[in-house]
Structure formats: structure tokens, C-alpha cells
Amino acid sequence: MARQRLLVALSGGVDSSVAALLLRDQGHEVVCAYMKNWINEDNVAGNCPWMQDIEDARAVAERLGLEFRVVNLMRDYRRLVVDYLLDGYRRGLTPNPDVMCNSRVKFGVFAAYARAEGFQGLATGHYAQRVESAQHSALSVQQFHLLEGSDPNKDQSYFLALLNQEQLAFARFPIGHLRKPALRALAREARLPTADKKDSQGICFIGEVKMADFLRAYVPEEPGPIVRAGDGRVLGRHRGLHYYTIGQRKGIGIPSNTDHEAYVVVGKRIADHALLVAFDGPQAPGLWTTECRVHSLSFINEPITQPCRLEARVRYRDPRVPVEFIPDAGPTSATIKFPAPQRALAPGQILALYDGPRLLGGAVFA
């Protein structure tokens, strides 16, 4: 592999630390940069340990003998991710900020920074694999495919579902072939300061508080009735639809019945701010579906314009399931049919499309 000048997004965690280690050892010219996205300047979102993460990232770069930078993307992050998140919850959706952070910020404005600084690629600690297509010729444009990470427990291809070919061509995923125990062993062998650091949970700007506490600070509460779907009976009151998502059982605020059947959220009625609930189970109206609509379709390689059978992930931790993909006449929306009923497909969440382990693209549940 020819030597390249690469920027590594060093988060202060062990995964990106090993990404930098591997690229350095492969002989590339490596520079490390911490993306400064959110510092909780409003003092309402709990403990986001960005200061410790910067120091950990700096210590890794020093250990590896690499240049270290801090790149301030706070304004872009607020505009492209936080505002998207808050707007979605205000409209009764369940947005996915992690997917949007990757497509809009990390491989968007941060990649643009890397290009402007003369780097030939941007590397991250994602558990995913980029492979070159074997079908291109000397006269064709070089194409890349994105495969799942080798570690089935850590694969993060789902979070890259909205990347395009240009973004993937610039991306590097040095650890995608590794399993987590092997990665930590490499970190310990290299005596990296992050070798035994615990994996971060959730997204940084929320820190150690619940999403509900973060939303409480930024989204006004609009109370409404809790309505039993099916017979319309009002069971109680809620503080705001943005605190709930389809499929939620805990924290609704209404007790189970004498048969110990628990209520589950099955829908939101925006017109009167009604939260729709039903007893959890296969008969709960609106909870299970074999067909859905998606919008904002994005493909890594060639768009799919004809009905076909694919596989899909409806959530990050869910396995791939077979689907029938039926595109609309327009390029950005489609109907998805599932042979087996799927539970709690929340509008605003991400559907990732696959051909076996190869990620094809993604869309947003309507």
C-alpha cells in the first residue's frame, strides 16, 4: 500500500487509538485530531467528559509520536446534529443522531477540513470494512464497498448507512478486521493510555444523563392524554410526546392490569398530543407491521431502481432480516415489505439496507 497522509479522528477511546497505531505502523503519515463537538456550555446535559477525552487522545498521540490537533466543530455539530435531534423530537419522531453525526459531521464537515488540510483520507475507529470493487477498469471511476465489521458483537456498519460513495472513498476503517479482544491486546502491547478505558455509551453531548433529561432542557413540554388504542379510553396524562418512542414499556406512567399485562407505546397522535398505548403483545394495534414506508433514501453505490429482495436492519442491535424493496418513481422513497412482522418501527429511525454483509445504503422510517 502506498504511503498516504491520513487524518485520524482520535476520540480518546481505545478503538480510534488502535486505528492510529495501525496506520502509523503501516508507514502512513498520520496526524491525529479530536473533534470538539459539544462542551455542555448550557450546563444542562449532565457530564460530557470531553476534557478527559481530549487529554486521553493527546496522551495517545504523544505515545505514538504523532501530531495532535483539536478541531472545533461545535457550531456545525449544533446545526447539523443537535438541531436535527431536537426538531425531530418536537415533531413526534425518534431521530438517530449517531447516523447523522457520521454522514453530516464526521464524514461531512470534518472530512472537508481534512481535504482542505491536504490529507488523502480520514480514518475512524468504526468496526466496518471498506473494500475496493474488483469490477472497475483503468477507464472507470474507482468504487468502494462497505462491509460489516468482522466482530459481530461490535459491527457498526448500521451507523454508516447514509454515507455516499464520495464519503466512503475518503474514509478509512483500520480496525474493521479486528475483534475487540484482539484490539485491546494490541493496545496493551503498544502501552497505549486508553488500552483498558471503558467504551463510551451513547453520544457525547448527552453524557451520563438520560435522553429525557436532555430533552427537558430544550424542548417545551406539551401535555396530553394517554389514550388506549382500540377503544379510545383515556388512561392518564403525559408531559410531552417527545419523551416517548414506539415500543416503549417503561416510564409511561400507567400501571399494568390485574393480569400483569403491561402497556406499551404504539403511536402518537400529533393533532391532540395523544400518546397511544395498548397491552404489549402480537395483537397490540400499530406495534407490529409487515410493511412500512421510508424516505431520504441514500445508496453507497448505484441506486436501486427496481423491486428486489434485500436484507435490512431495522435497529442497530437487530439481525439482518429479509425484505422486499419496492422503490417509488422518485429516487428518495420506497415501500419495504417484511415476510415476518417487525416490532416498533419508530418514525425517524434508520433502516439500513444490505446485500449479505455488504451495506448498500439506508433510509428513514416515515
In Å, how far from its chain's centre is CA 76?
Answer: 17
In a domain, 292, yes or no: yes
In angstroms, rounded to a whole number, what is the distance separating the alpha carbons of residues 322 and 223?
A: 39
Q: 218: closest CA among 83, 105, 91, 99?
A: 83
If asked whether residues 62 and 148 sit together in one domain, one would say yes
Whether residues 130 and 258 fall in one domain: no
Question: Is the per-residue pLDDT at 114 higher than 70?
Answer: yes
pLDDT digits 0-9 by tens, 303-326: 999 999 999 999 999 999 999 999
Residues 146 and 260 both lie in one domain:
no
Q: Are residues 230 and 187 in the same domain?
A: no
Those residues with Cβ within 8 angstroms of residue 320's Cβ, 6 or more apart along the chain or in another chain: 311, 312, 313, 354
Grid cell, residue 91, equals 415533531
Instruction: Catalytic residue, from 48, 204, 292, 308: name it.
Output: 204
Q: Verify that 164 and 23 share a domain, yes or no.
A: yes
32 flagged as catalytic: no
Q: Are residues 83 and 177 in the same domain?
A: yes
246: domain CATH number? Answer: 2.30.30
**For residue range 251-288, what is the model confidence (pLDDT) as tens digits?**
998 987 657 789 999 999 999 999 999 999 999 999 99
Q: pTM of the predicted model, to two decimals?
A: 0.93
Structural domain of residue 308, as residue ranges? 288-365
For residue 298, what is the domain's CATH number?
Answer: 2.40.30.10
242/331 same-domain check: no
The answer to whether residue 243 sits within a structural domain is yes
Q: Of the candidates 289, 295, 290, 292, which has an alpha carbon nearest to the alpha carbon of residue 266?
A: 289
In a domain, 218, yes or no: no
Same domain, 55 and 184: yes
State the sign of the Cα–Cα–Cα–Cα dihedral 247, 249, 255, 259: positive
- Residue percentage of the chain with pLDDT more than 90: 84
In this structure, is residue 191 part of a structural domain?
yes
Q: Is 308 a catalytic residue?
A: no
Catalytic choice (32, 48, 101, 292): 101
Same domain, 183 and 293: no
Give 347's pLDDT tier (boundaries 50, 70, 90). very high
324 assigned to some structural domain: yes
How confident is residue 201, by pLDDT bands cut at 50, 70 and 90? low
Are residues 42 and 170 both part of a single domain?
yes
